[in-house]
Structure formats: C-alpha cells, structure tokens
Amino acid sequence: MLTLTIGGLLLAAVYYYLTRTFNYWIKRGVKHDKPIPLFGTNAKNFLLCANPVDMAREAYKKYPTEQLVGFFRGTRPELIIRDPELAKRVLTSDFNSFHRRGIVDSSTMEPLQKQQVAADDDLWRQLRLRMTPAFSSGKLKAMFPLIVERAEILQARLKEISNKQQAVDARDLMARFTNDIIGSAGFGVVSDSLNNEEDAMRKLGLKIFSINFTRVINQTLKNLNPKFFGHLKILGNVEKDVIEMVRTVMQQRNYEPSGRHDFIDILLECKKKGAMTGDSIVETNPDGTPKKVSIEMDETIMAAQSFLFFAAGFETSSSVSSYTLHELAHNPHVQEKAQAEIDKVLLKYNNKLCYDAILEMSYLRWCLNEAMRVFPSVGILRRQSVHPYTFPGTKVTIDGGVTVIIPLEAYQNDPKIFPEPQEFRPERFDPDVMTHEQKVAYLPFGGGPRACIGERLGVMQSMAGLAAVLAQYSVRPAGAPRYPTSSPYSGAVNFIKGGLPLIFQERKL
Ligand code: HEM
Ligand SMILES: *[C@@H]1O[C@H](CO)[C@@H](O)[C@H](O)[C@H]1NC(C)=O
Ligand SMILES: *[C@@H]1O[C@H](CO)[C@@H](O)[C@H](O)[C@H]1NC(C)=O
C-alpha cells in the first residue's frame, strides 16, 4: 500500500514537472495546440518526422486569424509570430528587446561557435561591428576574381558531363561549386571538388554536415541539461581540422595579408586593429553607464569566422542556386528571358564574367529572389526576448528569455500575401508591382541588425554560378519532384530532400 502511494506521488511529481509550464499561453490568451507531457507541441520534430520549418508552417496554417500562436518545445514555451508586421517590430524597431538568437548558451560555447550566428550579447555585437566591413561591396569586388575562376571551372566541368546527355544532379554540382569558393575565398586554399573526389575541402564540408550519431546524442543531452552536459561538443569532430587549416594558411602568410584579397587576408587585416572594444549591451556600471568590453581577436575567433563560410554560407548558397535551376527547367520562358539578358550583358563585357556584369543582370536577380521566395534556404528566424515585452496592439506580454519564431517560409507561400504562391514568377520582384505587405513578408536573409551579414556574397556567388551555367547551357527537368521538400532532419536551414537531377544541354549560339 505504502509503495503504491509513494509510486503514485512520484508519478504525480514527474507529471507536474513535465507539464508545469503548460498554462503559459492559456494565461496570456494565446491560441495553441494542446501540449503533451515531455514533447509539448513539438513531438513530430522530436521524433524526426518533421523539421522546425514544417512545425512553424503547420501552426501558421492552422490558426489563420491569429497574430501570435503558442508553441511548446518540450516544456519550454515559444511563440510563433504569424503577423509579418509584428515580426518587423521584433527584427528592427524593437531589436533592443530581441538582440539574442538564443541558440547556444554562452557557458557551453564551443570554439567554432564563437561567431555571429551562434554568439549573443557582447561577443555577438563586437564581432558584428568588427566583421561588417569585411563583407562590404569593395571587399567582395576585390575577392570576385576568385569566384569567377571557380565559375569558369564549373563551365568546363559541365562541358564534360553534358556531352553524355545524362541527367546531372544540380544540387551536387552547385554544392561542389560553392564548396570550392569557400575553399578559395573563405579559407585561402585552392580546392577543386568539381574534378577531384578526394578534395580536402569537400571532405571537410561533408564531415561538417554529416549526421554524426554522437553529435545528435551530444546535442540532445546539451539541450536537456546545459549545466550537466554543457561540456559535450557538437563540432568536436571538425574543430581541430578547421582551426589547423586556418592556422596553417595564416602561418604561410607570416600573419600578413598576401594580396590575394580572400577572407584570410581580411581576417589578418582585422586582427591588426587590435582587440575589439566598446560599450557592453548587457552590463552596466553602478552609475548606469554601460561597462566597457574588450575581446581579443584570437586564433580561435578567426578560425570560427572562416568556419561561418561553411556553417552559414554553404547549404544556403548551393540550395538557392540549384533550386533556381530547377525552377528555370520547369519554366522555359523564364529561362529564355534570363539567358537573353545574360547574353546581352556578357556581350558588353567581352563575354567575360565579372562583378559589374553580374550586378547588371537584374532579371537573373529576380529569378534568384523568386526561388528564395518559394524555397528559402533558411525557413524560420529566431530571436529571444532579453526582458519582458508586450507585443504592440495586443495584450500579450512575454517574459525575458522566451524564444520567438518568425515563419518566413510560411509568409512567402501564403496566397493571401503572394497570390498563386507555387507559380514561379520573377516579375513579382519588379519594384513597381511589389506591395508594401510583400516587402515586409519577404525575409530570405532575415532582417534588422542581425540580418545575414553575407547576403551580398551569397547573392553574387550564386548569380555567378547561374550566369556561368546559363550562358552556355539550357536546363530541362529530369525526374526530380516538381515541388521538392526539405529533409525532416533539417534545422532552420532547409536541406533539400534527395537530389535535383536536370539535363544540361549545350546552347547553340
Ligand atoms: C544565399 C545565401 C544565403 C542565405 C539565403 C542566407 C540567409 C541567412 C539568414 C536567413 C540568416 C538569419 C538572419 C536573421 O536571423 O535575421 C543569416 C544569418 C547569417 N548569415 Fe547568411 N545566408 C546566406 C549566405 C551567407 C554567407 C555566404 C555568409 C558568410 C560567409 C553568411 C553569413 C551569415 C552570418 C554571419 C549570419 C548571422 C548574422 C548575425 O546574427 O549577426 N550567410 N543568413
Ligand atoms: C561528443 O562529446 C564527446 C565528449 O566531449 C566528444 O569527444 C565528441 O567528439 C563529441 N562528438 C562530436 C560529434 O562532436
Ligand atoms: C562522429 O564524431 C566522432 C567524435 O568526434 C568521431 O570519432 C566519428 O568518427 C564521427 N563519425 C562520423 C560518421 O563522422
């Protein structure tokens, strides 16, 4: 009898523990699905049947008249922002309440996470300030010959494969192209994964994105209890390789810019400016003034910055360019129009790709924009409140430390905002026809002070690859699903499920 009672009490205690937060959104009058113990409303994601972008889309569709929808990641309350105008507040005007992304706890940060995607608070802010000039158009233009070089190798490679009249996986092709740019422009080493299966950068890239069993375990334990499992690593299998690679290149250059104008040169210039110093955004002195912070630009931080080219620039850029090719294959009239523009611009530049030529290809830019609308590489944005916040025009107040999710993929495919969303129509991006509502809801690079720092680079390298391909080849469908989906194992970054096979046919010019 006694053991039964104790058992019952224990069970009740466990049940209480697993459901203790479940009235969070009821108290605030925010609609949501009924949470279940342990899983909250995130069971499908925890069981790897759906990714976070799928979860956000589902909630977005299910509550069509709400501005805000509640969510529980396990026991943690999160909020999905259905109203793009409220999202804009979070990203821009009320940024000071939402400067955190909240994906990595600073106490458990790994060396390769000392970069802007993962860092928050002063480390994020100081890195952002220091690295912003590194992504300027001047720096990109100086770096661009390295990208053009890779685009020409892409053309040469296609010459070999297209002759065989077989389908080529555009996703794999563009991934290798992007990989080689990352090697050359991001890490300062020449890599050629388009032609060499044993390429070192390719191997590193595959290792970074491999689904490693111990990584999944480490990540799960870390999320479960950061205090207890914080020391476990999720990038443990690549940390040494990345740091070693960056160190070697810097040593070869005697820690002086080499004149190659790649990212390693830029990092070496950045280091010369000394420690990153400024006002804290989180800590104040007793008199209310902000504390001073100073962060050394050390070897680890520099390696973490190069690592970003992989972590933030690889899957994003390669999926955008391959998805654009996929849509062009299904929309031959659009493809012809893009090719006519490419031909016209290149003629002006002696048939040589260069930075200025790519900038002039405005229709190709619309095609890229439209591809990123239908299939954005990053499907949701995250922010975390740093203190209690009331959403303007609502009665909803959240505590500090609550994660909010901006479901941009759902906005961009909502027929109320973008009519006939599955139709690939680059003309939507004509500034004369795009509405204010559409501009607010279109967020493939995020928004506000934490928007993508590599937008210009991502766009220009993707366009260089597309222009190189389309100048000489036309693409036709070859059996990929008309509307590819993303893998259930994806995170915020949409990994296209399966390949995107296409026929590349040499153009008769
Ligand atoms: C087409 C390619 C790309 C797309 C679609 C893309 C998209 C995004 C998105 C949606 C975010 C989150 C923004 C937010 O939370 O508001 C982001 C952040 C970021 N991206 Fe990109 N990205 C691309 C390429 C790149 C490249 C090439 C780099 C650099 C090598 C890069 C570096 C970053 C960094 C550092 C952040 C974090 C910014 C911060 O929190 O301060 N991205 N990107
Ligand atoms: C998981 O954590 C252990 C212990 O820190 C570490 O040795 C291992 O490399 C980690 N796995 C990955 C993939 O980082
Ligand atoms: C996963 O990471 C561990 C620990 O770093 C490593 O020993 C192992 O080889 C990796 N497995 C795969 C499949 O990459």
Confidence band (pLDDT; 50, 70, 90) for 109? very high
Ranges of each domain in the chain: 83-100+109-378+413-506
Model confidence pLDDT, tens digit, residues 378-431:
999 999 999 999 999 999 999 999 999 999 999 999 999 999 999 999 999 999
6 pLDDT band (50/70/90 cuts)?
confident
Asked if residue 169 has pLDDT above 70, the reply is yes
Residue spans of beta strands (DSSP E) within 236-341: 276-284, 290-295
Q: pLDDT over 70 for what percent of the chain?
A: 99
- Distance (Å) from CA 65 to ligand 2 centroid: 45
Nearest CA to ligand 1 atom 42: 454
Taking the centre of ligand 3 as the mean of its atom positions, its distance from the CA of residue 496, in whole angstroms, is: 24
Ligand nearest to the CA of 218: 2
**Per-residue pLDDT tens over the stretch 454-508:** 999 999 999 999 999 999 999 999 999 999 999 888 888 888 888 999 999 999 8
From the CA of 231, give the closest atom in ligand 2: 5
Q: Give the residue whose CA is nearest to atom 17 of ligand 1.
A: 452
Q: Is 128 in the pocket of ligand 1 (CB under 6 A)?
A: yes
**Ligand 3 site, CB within 6 A:** 210, 212, 214, 236-237
Q: Read off the pLDDT of residues 64-95 as tens digits, 9 standing for 90 and up.
A: 999 999 999 999 999 999 999 999 999 999 99
Name the residue of 452, 461, 496 whose CB sits within 8 Å of the most ligand 1 atoms, as the mutation to test its pocket. Answer: 452
Q: How high does pLDDT run on average in the chain?
A: 94
Q: Token pair of 310, please?
A: 């992989």
Cα–ligand 2 centroid distance for 302 (angstroms):
22
Q: What is the pLDDT of residues 279-295, one digit of tens each?
A: 999 999 999 999 999 99
Residues 387-410, buried b or exposed e (16+ Cβ, 10 A)?
Answer: eebebeeeebebeeebbbbbbbbb
Q: What CATH class has 83-100+109-378+413-506? A: mainly alpha
Please report, for residues 125, 251, 313, the alpha-carbon distance to residue 130 in angstroms, rounded to integers and kept in the order given: 9, 22, 19
List, for residues 322-339, the tens digit of each pLDDT value: 999 999 999 999 999 999
Mean pLDDT of 39-51: 92
Residue 212 per-residue DSSP state: -
Does the pLDDT value for residue 227 go beyond 80? yes
pTM: 0.95
Q: Which atom of ligand 3 is nearest to the CA of 213?
A: 1
More confident residue, 181 or 11: 181
| Pairing verdict, β 290-295 and 276-284 | antiparallel
Residue nearest to atom 39 of ligand 1 (CA): 450
Judged by DSSP in three states, 434 sits in: coil
How far is residue 79's CA from residue 60's CA, in Å, rounded to a whole number?
Answer: 11
Give residue 15's pLDDT band: very low, low, confident or very high (50, 70, 90). confident
Residue with tokens 């899957």: 315
Question: What are the pocket residues of ligand 2 if the criterion is a CB atom closer than 6 Å to any ligand atom?
Answer: 212, 214-215, 218, 232-237
The residue contributing the CA closest to ligand 3 atom 11 is 212
How many CB atoms are closer than 10 A to CB 29? Answer: 11
Ligand nearest to the Cα of 494, by number:
1
d(CA 209, CA 45): 19
pLDDT value, residue 505: 93
**Which of the ligands is closest to the CA of residue 216?**
2
Residue nearest ligand 2's atom 8 by CA: 236
Treating both helix axes as pointing N-terminal to C-terminal, what angle do 239-252 and 200-209 enclose, rounded to 10 degrees? 150
Tens of pLDDT, residues 51-60: 999 999 999 9
pLDDT for 423 equals 98
82 Cα to the center of ligand 3, angstroms = 39
Ligand 1, atom 41: nearest CA belongs to which residue? 450
Say whether pLDDT at 1 is over 70.
no
Distance 227 CA to ligand 2 centre (A): 16
**What phi-psi label fits residue 142: left (phi over 0), alpha (psi between -120 and 50 degrees) or beta?**
alpha
**Residue 103 near residue 78 (C-beta atoms within 8 A):** no
Tell the residue number behind the tokens 């002696």, with chain if given: 350
Distance 234 CA to ligand 2 centre (A): 6
Mean pLDDT within 13-19: 86
Residue 198's contacts (CB-CB under 8 Å, 6 or more residues apart) are none
Q: How confident is the model at residue 269 (pLDDT cuts 50, 70, 90)?
A: very high
Mean pLDDT of 156-177: 89
